[in-house]
Amino acid sequence: MYKNIVITGTGSFVPSIIKSNKEFSNHTFYTDEGKKITEPIERTITKFQKITDIEERRYASEDMTCSTLGFHAAEEAIANAKINKEELDYIIVAHNFGDVIKHNIQSDMVPSIAARIKHKLKIANPNCVAYDVLFGCPGWIEGTIQASAFIKAGMAKKCLIIGTEALSRVLDPFDRDSMIFADGAGASVLEMKEEENQRGILGHATQSHTLEEMEYLYLGKSNYPGSDDRIRYIKMKGRKIYEYALTNVPVAMKKCIDEANVDVNKIKKVLIHQANHKMDEAIIDRFFKLSGSDQVPDKIMPMTIDKFGNSSVATIPTLYDLILRGEMKEHEIETDDHLLFASVGAGMNINAFVYKQ
């Protein structure tokens, strides 16, 4: 018998407000140096869409925050797993900016987002430990790796892992990079199952590069000249991130499948963090070549970036949930399929795990 660590339930919450690229047509963008970008806005938007593949993204309504989004995804995951919520040993919530109320400028993370979600779920059990993970976009994967370690060590039986973010609350409207980011939440329940056949999490890898890469994603002042230096917005060095990801992410993915002793040709789907479609395609191509395969299988990389944008920690658990629910055209996951989950983000951090369905 194998002691498998498996995902028994998933849930997601996709906000209802759709913001298309056309809605940025009345924006005036500035460079990092505060210089007005003079090229026609339509050309800027066209270039952006061609590179990223983003056509639209989802924003949370005014009455919602990061913890609200996470609560809705968590409810779905618990119901889908068919468990008693009071039996949860851990609630691990990945996010980056906490609760930011609409039209406010301050992040609120006290008490933790995990504590707030546990409260909203009305879980009374004090032995259900709720805490946050701040790990950039790879936060949900890292939370899953931590939960797996707790279960393997006998410290837990059931864990709820949530990735939730409302990036629309920390965007600089004068920065064209702000068009990438979006809101959303995804969640999963992880449990130990004693079974005759091996499945679940087979191996994982995590790396943190902080010497030169730490400030590739950071909080900085608005690009608008003369803006208040005390107000900070999410910023990124796009070219640096692109080069970093292409160099390092395929290596970490290869390390992960090697640890799991899974041949690259067995991988049915790669569920990868999505900030730039072209970058992800290049990462997948390099990963397969590094793993000894010149052929990237068709439909290996399901994408939601065109409609959902980059929702940070919510991207991968939301994608997984949508596929399992049959809401992703041309993509399905079947029993015994090998999946590779992988992400990269602020830190700079990279992680991945191999999962047998």
Q: Where are the domains of the chain?
A: 2-195, 200-356
Write the pLDDT tens digit of every residue in 254-302: 999 999 999 999 999 999 999 999 999 999 999 999 999 988 999 999 9
Confidence of residue 305 (pLDDT cuts 50, 70, 90): very high
Angle of helix 66-81 versus helix 113-120 axis, rounded to 10: 50
Please give the CATH topology (third level) of the domain spanning 200-356: Peroxisomal Thiolase; Chain A, domain 1 (3.40.47)
Confidence of residue 102 (pLDDT cuts 50, 70, 90): confident
pLDDT of residue 20: 96
- Residue 337 neighbours by CB distance under 10 Å: 15
> At residue 262, what is the residue type?
V
CA distances from residue 192 to 78, 120, 133, 149, 243 in whole angstroms, order as listed:
15, 26, 22, 11, 38
Question: Residue 29 half-sphere exposure, CB side, CA atoms within 13 Å?
Answer: 20
Write the pLDDT tens digit of every residue in 189-221: 999 999 999 999 999 999 999 999 999 999 999
Is the model's pTM score more than 0.85? yes
CB burial class (10 A; 0-12, 13-18, 19+) of residue 171?
middle
Cα angle, residue 310 at apex, residues 274 and 305 outer, rounded to 5°: 60
The alpha carbons of the chain give a radius of gyration, in whole angstroms, of 20
pLDDT of residue 329: 86
Q: In degrees rounded to 5, what are phi and psi of residue 338?
A: -95, 125
The DSSP secondary-structure symbol of 249 reads: H
- Residue 197 neighbours by CB distance under 10 Å: 10
Domain 2-195 grouped into CATH 3.40.50.720? no
Cis amide prior to 348 (ω within 30 degrees)? yes
Confidence of residue 105 (pLDDT cuts 50, 70, 90): confident
Question: Residue 58 half-sphere exposure, CB side, CA atoms within 13 Å?
Answer: 22
How far is residue 307's CA from residue 39's CA, in Å, rounded to a whole number?
26
pLDDT of residue 122: 98
